[in-house]
Amino acid sequence: MWANESVFYQIYPLGFCGAPFENDGVCEHRIRKISDWIPHIKKLGANAIYFSPVFESDTHGYNTRDYKKIDVRLGENEDFRDLCQELHNNHIKVVIDGVFNHVGRGFGPFIDVCKNRQNSRYLNWFHIDLNGNSNYNDGLWYEGWEGNYDLVKLNLQNNEVVEYLLEAVSFWIHEFDIDGIRLDVAYCLEYDFLKRLRSHVDSLKEDFFLVGEMLHGDYNQRMNDGMLHSATNYECYKGLYSSFNSMNMFEINHSLLRQFGPEQWTLYKGKHLLSFVDNHDVTRIASILSNPNHLPLIYALLFGMPGIPCVYYGSEWGEKAEKSQGDPALRPCFDKPIYNELSAYISKLSEIKKNTLPLNYGDFSSVVLTNKQCIFKRSYENTDVYVAINADENNFCCNFHCNTDIVTDLITGEEFQMNREFEMKGYRAYILK
């Protein structure tokens, strides 16, 4: 699977392109702006893009109105088709958000239900009680996603609904030639629906990638040979920043051992979770870390641990934003990309990740672990790579067994003799091979 050797770049198009929050119905070809960023994305080393919602919606994209029409605030289908082609010409894969659990109040079949009630042919597309009432005073009650009534929950046990969604997916593949789907709130989706979706996309395009938004629980319930290929690694997302802020590298190390460690019982051995330090739903990492010296280190850890790293637009140069400021603050419009010292560091990590098989497929084992330092080993086909992090300002010396006398730090090119004490500089990360 191509995704296993990829570095993802996430863009939230409505925010990125400066679209108004409310759908004003005015067609503006804003999505063309992304073409101007392709050189930056390539320079960063990303070879796959994950687009948050692009289809016609009421406001933020996750309240879909039309599954076959690019949001008018972003342009027309032709604009997105051309963009996908341009990305493919630059050897960049395209993954888009699939919002299948719910729709917006502006979704045609739901409007029909509100108008025609029991006479609507779409009545059973949703979870409707005609004897109740909604927060919008519709004269009927419906189930919203987690109590959000701008998000009307679909009835995925209705075969007509499932067929409708699968036909939309067929359209996306044929019209835009997308390479994968990120499934919004995958933890809410019916098992049978996921099985049908997997079978459907497998029949349409080879190596089509399905990754689900999973927040908690056992990802294997929906990530397996018959459903999703991957899931968002929220467990390690929390462990990554918390380990640095509390100066407790045991936290992230133990999460990784639980997920990928050498014991047979570990949860996700051989699987490739989508890993991240921030995204469109959470506070940016530069605003979370209490020590700015840890910012490059957390990316080194992200790229060195098992998984598929994903970088959120703007965070590669250290942009700040807090969840408490509201979602729009997390999804801004930038006039142009910034390429600074952090961006260059991530570019280096990207190239190392894509070209180092142990980082893509290797086993995981802990080698050295203290509160402020960790060294772990990634092994694949008789090749070992060591990822070493020193979160302390002071140098740290240690000894650990290595199968070779000399290793090279893939980040700097510096060589180290391993028959003596290994000295880690303060606030420094190493990827040793």
Range of the domain at 395: 363-432
Name the pLDDT band for 401 (thresholds 50, 70, 90): confident
For residue 405, pLDDT beyond 90: no
The chain-wide mean pLDDT, for the chain, equals 97
pLDDT confidence of residue 340: 98
Q: How confident is the model at residue 361 (pLDDT cuts 50, 70, 90)?
A: very high
Task: Indicate which CATH number applies to the domain containing 408.
Answer: 2.60.40.1180
The more confident residue out of 421 and 124 is 124
Same domain, 19 and 110: no
My answer on whether 324 and 394 are in the same domain is: no
Structure tokens at 12: 């939230």
Same domain, 82 and 212: yes
- Claim to verify: residue 97 and residue 109 sit in the same structural domain: no
Nearest to 40 by CA among 70, 11, 77: 11
Residues 199 and 142 in one domain: no
Can you give the CATH number for the domain in which 151 is found? 3.90.400.10
Examine the fold and report which residue of 113, 136, 155 is the final residue of a domain before the chain moves on.
Answer: 155
φ/ψ (deg, to 5) at 226: -105, 0
| pLDDT digits 0-9 by tens, 97-130 | 999 999 999 999 999 999 999 999 999 999 999 9
Q: Which residues on adjacent β-strands are paired with residue 11?
A: 51
What's the predicted TM-score (pTM) here? 0.97
Half-sphere exposure of 78 (CA within 13 A, CB side): 3
Same structural domain, 275 and 405:
no
> Of 361, 378, 401, which marks where a domain is finished?
361
Looking at the fold, whether 140 and 192 belong to one and the same domain comes out as: no
Q: What type of residue is 105? A: R
Instruction: For 360, list phi and psi in degrees, rounded to 5.
Output: -95, -35
pLDDT confidence of residue 430: 98
Residues 310, 390 within the same domain: no
Tell me what pLDDT residue 76 has: 98
Q: Based on the fold, state whether residues 122 and 248 are members of the same structural domain.
A: no
**Is the separation of the CB atoms in 108 and 65 below 8 Å?**
yes
Average pLDDT over residues 295-323: 98
Does 164 lie in the same domain as 151?
no
Find all residues with CB under 8 Å of 317, minimum gap 6, and list them: 337, 338, 339, 340, 342, 343
| Res. 403: pLDDT tops 90 | no
Domain identity same for 119 and 180: no
Domain of residue 262, CATH code: 3.20.20.80
In this structure, the answer to whether residues 17 and 164 fall within a common structural domain is yes
How many domains does the chain contain in total? 3
Query: Which residue, 345, 361, 377, sits at the end of a domain?
Result: 361
